[in-house]
Structure 1
Amino acid sequence: MQNERAYYIMAILALVIGVIFLLLLIIRFKINTFVSLVLTSVLTAILLGMDMTKIATSIQDGIGSQLGELSLVFGFGAMLGRLVADAGGAHTIATTLIDKFGRKHLQFAIMLASFIIGIALFFEVGMVLLIPIVFAIAVEAGVPILYLGISMAAALSVTHGFLPPHPAPVAISAVLGANVGKVLLFGLIVAIPSAYIAGPLFTKLAQKFAPSAFEQKGNLSSFGEMKTFTKEEAPSFGMSVLTSLFPVILMAITTVYQLGVNGGVTPKNPNTLDQIISLIGSPSIAMLISLVFAMFSMGWMRKRSTGDIMATMESAVKSIAMLLLVIGGGGAFKQVLIDGGVGDAVAKIFQGSSISPLILGWIVAVVLRVALGSATVASLTAAGIVLPLMSQAGVDPALMVLAIGAGSLAASHVNDAGFWMFREYFDLTIKQTLSIWTVLETVVSIVGILVVMILNLFFH
């Protein structure tokens, strides 16, 4: 018993040393995140006393299992998003919603437009696409840029943290064995109030405690030459929304069908319709079908040549190469933690504890987010740590995905790329960015875990 306790303490100590080592490599020595993750995985494996002949295999298994389906989802997703953007679809969605909502409800228009666009695009891409539109609308309406910018950032953030096919929710779902469609449905329930509270409501509070930030005029110089679209050049609103949401629609159809027809349980002898519905709802196939649809709706139907469409898609894939490697590195670190017994140690420590596994998953993700900056890496690492607790507690994996996702959004600061994007585009000081962006992300995180805990009361 004494030896077992000592082993668990050493396992936790190895994890702490590993995280500190990772921090030093990334923050102090500016080493590439992927390289840092792999180096940290090797060191942590050695500290955990793993058989050295199996360390390389563990790392390879972690990277391989992590990138298996995700490489398809991210690759197809990046291509889809770029096709929508280059055709003017994102521009159409934003401007149409703003026209419909009117000047009195500009915040809600921006939030809804950002939410729709954010489902199809990575956070950074969505921000780059939307900020010029937000700036133009703010100037025309005579309101502070940040007045609309906070709602935009909140909507993009919740889609990034809670909704498939974004990297973190899909990756955590794969680790925890959660149904992606269920994560999507629960994620929408979590994301909507989180976006509203961290967007329009938080803006009112921010205007009181950081009024100087709302006086800034913003900075568009980093965007270079901005591409504009006339009404004739851009696709219709309906087609733009349909294309952006096509993968979500396919996954939702599958989830609703499985819940309604099969009670959410995979049948032992599925019929042909069951198999077809299951196929089109799997993330990789849903993204592939959606990409083919986008090639028509945002490409050939817009009189774009095949060569032009392919160039757009190739460019999109190049932009996510490092993201894929970083996610793979996160998978390697996660696998080492699992194979080295860290997850078992955490499970043992909290065994019999009154702390909800959902709260624990959230706390672990918050700590890692603050330490590492990357929401995706924090999510993957947290998922690996809490995985052993899942079977003991009987927690719905979909809710754990969202709890970890909420934690991974908290307290974004100087080690997060999103922090610097927000600061640069809105031309804020570090103090102002901490007052607005960091608090905004923390509000999303807290509201997110509260909604998850409420859902847990009904779906435990």
Structure 2
Amino acid sequence: MPLLIVALGVVFLLILMIPLKFNGFVALILVAILVGLLEGMPLNTIMDSISEGIGGQLNDLVLILGFGAMLGKVMADSGAAQRISNTLIGKLGIKRVQAAMLIVSFILGVTMFYEVAFVLLIPLVFTIVRQTNLNLLYVGLTMSIGLSTTHSFLPPHPGPAAVVGVFDASMGLTLLYGLIIAIPVGAFIALLWPRLSIVKKMNPSIPEGLISTKEFKEEEMPSFSASVISALIPVFLMAVLGAAEIGLPEDHGFLQVMEFFGSAPIALLIALLLSFYILGVRIGRSLEDVMKSCVDSVKPMAIIILVIGAGGAFKQILVDSGVADYIQALTEGWAISPILLAWLIALIMRAALGSATVAVMTAAGIVLPLVESSGASFEMMVLAVTTGSIAFSHVNDPGFWLFKEYFNLTVAQAIKVRTTYTTALSILGLIGVYILNNIIG
């Protein structure tokens, strides 16, 4: 019966978000209340669980999302993103344009959301296509796949960072393991997909009227080294923490220091503070202008933060109502891998809802009871959920429409290209999780 109630809650969530077009935050809170009531929780207990779930989910995650968004916006407004792109294209040449776009997308994608980095890089894609007469998808698809990979596989992006919090996993180890999987998987799909016959047959023209991004002059941009350092400081610090957690005893002094400096909020804060100078004052931007970038970056984050908080509320209802214990007892004898189950639930929710954030939070809440009893690494369980959430991007995903419009594709063409590549990334990501889990297990 408890699982039937959860299933009804998920169906209700689908109804609210798909035909009724409810906002994800409102829908998740309503579903959390419904499941709590049907499970027999007292009204005051339901409210306490929702409050506890939201607070527990958003504790340091608010810092991660806020600092990450600010850093990405400061990089964009300073010309650092354009500098990285221009330099790599110039060094590698047009013949290696795909490799250049892949490197750029990985560097920028670690700290920037998919949509932000996509809009920043698409003018460069159009410029290259105009100059070389290369196929638009041949150049741009590699960039999009690289950004999709980092956004879905790696913290400090919202989905992976939120699931790390739910599972109480290590952010540093999740990033380290995620990089090990994301780089080969993302590179393989990014270099393969533009060469598929079904993609090569498409030769869309550059759309008119979509470019409004500022083109920086040479003297306006920071140096290449300053731009790359700003983007990779948090990655470096979190990766060092992950390596220290693997190789050092818990009481080692260096590990204790890195647990502070390598934590995602502090790593991002350090990078942000340094960017105020090297991407701001040092290149002639006033602190007031830099602070404006920070303020502008946070506004679009509000709804993402609310949705993640509501997902935490739903998770807490499942725990406090006894559903979590029921799921754990029920699945103790199951032959199905908890990694596969987590991936499947996230995949189904993503295909149904379109929102990767809602998908990972729902899946994380459902499989949470299996995490400790599964024997699998907490970090591998995080990656199982997040790799599942990238699959089946289609017409209910805002990113799908961004991709379709900027590449000037029909809906059918966008499905053939984007839906297939996101699903391929998801499947290969799952295989990578299994392989790495066996190695570290």
Normalising by structure 2, we get a TM-score of 0.96
Q: Tell me if 1:142 matches 2:133.
A: yes
Tell me the residue number matched to 2:432.
Answer: 451
- Asked if the contact 1:164/1:183 (under 8 Å) is kept, the reply is yes
Which letter does structure 1 place at the counterpart of 2:99?
A: F
Once the two structures are superposed, residues 100-128 of structure 1 have per-residue CA deviations (whole angstroms, 9 ceiling, x without a partner) of: 22222211110110110000101111111
User: 2 CA distance for matches of 1:388 and 1:419?
Assistant: 33
Which letter does structure 2 place at the counterpart of 1:209?
A: I
Q: Find the partner of 1:254 among 216, 241, 247.
A: 241
User: 2 CA distance for matches of 1:435 and 1:40?
Assistant: 33
Tell me the residue number matched to 1:190.
Answer: 181
Task: Give the 3 Å change call, closer, same or farther, for CA 372–338 of structure 1 in structure 2.
Answer: farther
Tell me the residue number matched to 1:167.
Answer: 158
- Asked if the contact 1:220/1:425 (under 8 Å) is kept, the reply is no
User: 1 CA distance for matches of 2:61 and 2:263?
Assistant: 11
Tell me the residue number matched to 1:75.
Answer: 66
Tell me the residue number matched to 1:226.
Answer: 213
Q: Tell me if 1:216 matches 2:204.
A: yes
Tell me the residue number matched to 1:102.
Answer: 93
Show the 5 A alignment for 1:108-147.
Answer: 108-147=99-138
Tell me the residue number matched to 1:40.
Answer: 31
Show the 5 A alignment for 1:251-400.
Answer: 251-262=238-249, 266-267=250-251, 271=253, 273-400=254-381
User: 1 CA distance for matches of 2:161 and 2:281?
Assistant: 30
Once the two structures are superposed, residues 387-407 of structure 1 have per-residue CA deviations (whole angstroms, 9 ceiling, x without a partner) of: 111222211011111111110
User: 1 CA distance for matches of 2:4 and 2:292?
Assistant: 48
Which letter does structure 1 place at the counterpart of 2:139?
A: L
Shift of the alpha carbon at 1:429? 1.1
**Sequence identity percentage:** 45
Once the two structures are superposed, residues 16-74 of structure 1 have per-residue CA deviations (whole angstroms, 9 ceiling, x without a partner) of: 22122112222212222211111111112112222222111111111111111111111
Q: Tell me if 1:155 matches 2:142.
A: no
Once the two structures are superposed, residues 245-298 of structure 1 have per-residue CA deviations (whole angstroms, 9 ceiling, x without a partner) of: 111111122222333332xxx32xx64x44322110111111111110111111
Q: Tell me if 1:16 matches 2:3.
A: no
Matched position secondary structure for 1:120: coil
Q: Tell me if 1:239 matches 2:226.
A: yes
User: 2 CA distance for matches of 1:169 and 1:339?
Assistant: 24
Which letter does structure 2 place at the counterpart of 1:295?
A: F
Task: Give the 3 Å change call, closer, same or farther, for CA 234–220 of structure 1 in structure 2.
Answer: farther
Which letter does structure 2 place at the counterpart of 1:316?
A: S
Which letter does structure 2 place at the counterpart of 1:219?
A: P
Shift of the alpha carbon at 1:210? 4.3
Task: Give the 3 Å change call, closer, same or farther, for CA 397–229 of structure 1 in structure 2.
Answer: same
- Asked if the contact 1:172/1:379 (under 8 Å) is kept, the reply is yes
Task: Give the 3 Å change call, closer, same or farther, for CA 215–304 of structure 1 in structure 2.
Answer: same
Task: Give the 3 Å change call, closer, same or farther, for CA 226–53 of structure 1 in structure 2.
Answer: closer
Which 5+ residue runs of structure 1 have no aligned equivalent?
1-9
Once the two structures are superposed, residues 329-377 of structure 1 have per-residue CA deviations (whole angstroms, 9 ceiling, x without a partner) of: 1211222222223333333333222211111111111111112211122
Once the two structures are superposed, residues 388-429 of structure 1 have per-residue CA deviations (whole angstroms, 9 ceiling, x without a partner) of: 112222110111111111101111111111111111111111
Which letter does structure 2 place at the counterpart of 1:354?
A: A
Shift of the alpha carbon at 1:178? 1.0
Tell me the residue number matched to 1:437.
Answer: 418
Shift of the alpha carbon at 1:219? 2.5
Which letter does structure 2 place at the counterpart of 1:113?
A: V
Matched position secondary structure for 2:332: coil
User: 1 CA distance for matches of 2:364 and 2:167?
Assistant: 7
Which letter does structure 2 place at the counterpart of 1:373?
A: G
Tell me the residue number matched to 2:49.
Answer: 58
Which letter does structure 2 place at the counterpart of 1:351?
A: E
Tell me the residue number matched to 2:389.
Answer: 408
User: 2 CA distance for matches of 1:340 and 1:137?
Assistant: 56
User: 2 CA distance for matches of 1:413 and 1:288?
Assistant: 35
User: 2 CA distance for matches of 1:42 and 1:104?
Assistant: 56
User: 1 CA distance for matches of 2:379 and 2:49?
Assistant: 26
User: 2 CA distance for matches of 1:158 and 1:141?
Assistant: 27
Shift of the alpha carbon at 1:211? 4.5
Report how many residues are paired: 441
Q: Find the partner of 2:398 among 393, 396, 417.
A: 417
Which 5+ residue runs of structure 2 have no aligned equivalent?
none
User: 2 CA distance for matches of 1:346 and 1:143?
Assistant: 53
Larger deviation: 343-352 or 44-53? 343-352
